[in-house]
Amino acid sequence: MLGTRNTAALAGIAATMAALGIAMAASSPEILGQSLPRTPANAKPKPAETQPATTTPAEKKPAETKPAETKPADKKPAETKPQDKPKNNKVLEVGSPAPRFEPDAWIKGQSVSGFEKGKVYVVEFWATWCGPCRESIPHLTKIQKDNKELIVIGMASYERQGKGSGQDTRRANVEKFVKDQGDKMDYRVAFETDDQVGQAWMDAAKRDGIPTAFIVDGEGKIAYIGSPMSGSFDSAVQSALKAAKGS
């Protein structure tokens, strides 16, 4: 009987163990067909691995270097000596075209802007301080009165500054002289301060004395260069007038 009970007990234990084994097998993950990581229940999840952010080093620009400031050496302006008036290299002679005639001012009579074709002109260089120039004034006045078609011009290019005066009185000197002459000086009078007309005429003709007269014929060319008191001056005026009438 004891043997029967032991056998029955063993059989019950075996049955119980079998039942337990089946239950444990049924809860086993391999039976469900999924494979899950086996981690302990109380295991803490690992934090996600984070890779440190890669930072590219900022490009460093080379430091700007300014060149050392150097002060320019003080330069003194070159000293320039006053130069003489430029010489006129053009040669003026009988037969040459008359130079331009542009005085600074007209003291008496109607201005002349140019030499018109068919007209005859006398351009006489003079000054108030010149004795021979004063002597020629009555003769030029007579030539002008006797020949209405002739244009006589007294060109004052060489007036001198009065002594002891701090102002330029040259033009005033000429104006007073011409006014005092009145009808005795009955022809056009022009004036300049910078000798531009004088250079273009007197210097170009190699003339260094006044009075000097130039005759411009009807073709605008020089017909005479010399003294207005010479007999050849009068004949040259008449020849130029006659040629101008016939042209």
Q: Please write down the HEC assignment for all residues of the chain.
A: CHHHHHHHHHHHHHHHHHHHHHHHHHCCHHHHCCCCCCCCCCCCCCCCCCCCCCCCCCCCCCCCCCCCCCCCCCCCCCCCCCCCCCCCCCCCCCCCECCCCCCCEEEECCCCCCCCCCCEEEEEEECCCCHHHHHHHHHHHHHHHHCCCEEEEEEECCCCCCCCCCCCCHHHHHHHHHHHHHHHHCCEEEECCCCHHHHHHHHCCCCCCCCEEEEECCCCEEEEEECCCCHHHHHHHHHHHHHHHHC
Selected residue with higher pLDDT from 47 and 235: 235
pLDDT of residue 247: 66
For 35-45, the pLDDT digits (tens) are 334 334 444 44
pLDDT reported for residue 164: 74
pTM for the structure as a whole: 0.65
pLDDT at 177: 98
The string of pLDDT tens digits covering residues 211-241 is: 999 999 999 999 999 999 999 999 999 999 9
List the domains of the chain with CATH numbers: 105-109+117-246 (3.40.30.10)
pLDDT in tens, 111-138: 999 999 999 999 999 999 999 999 999 9
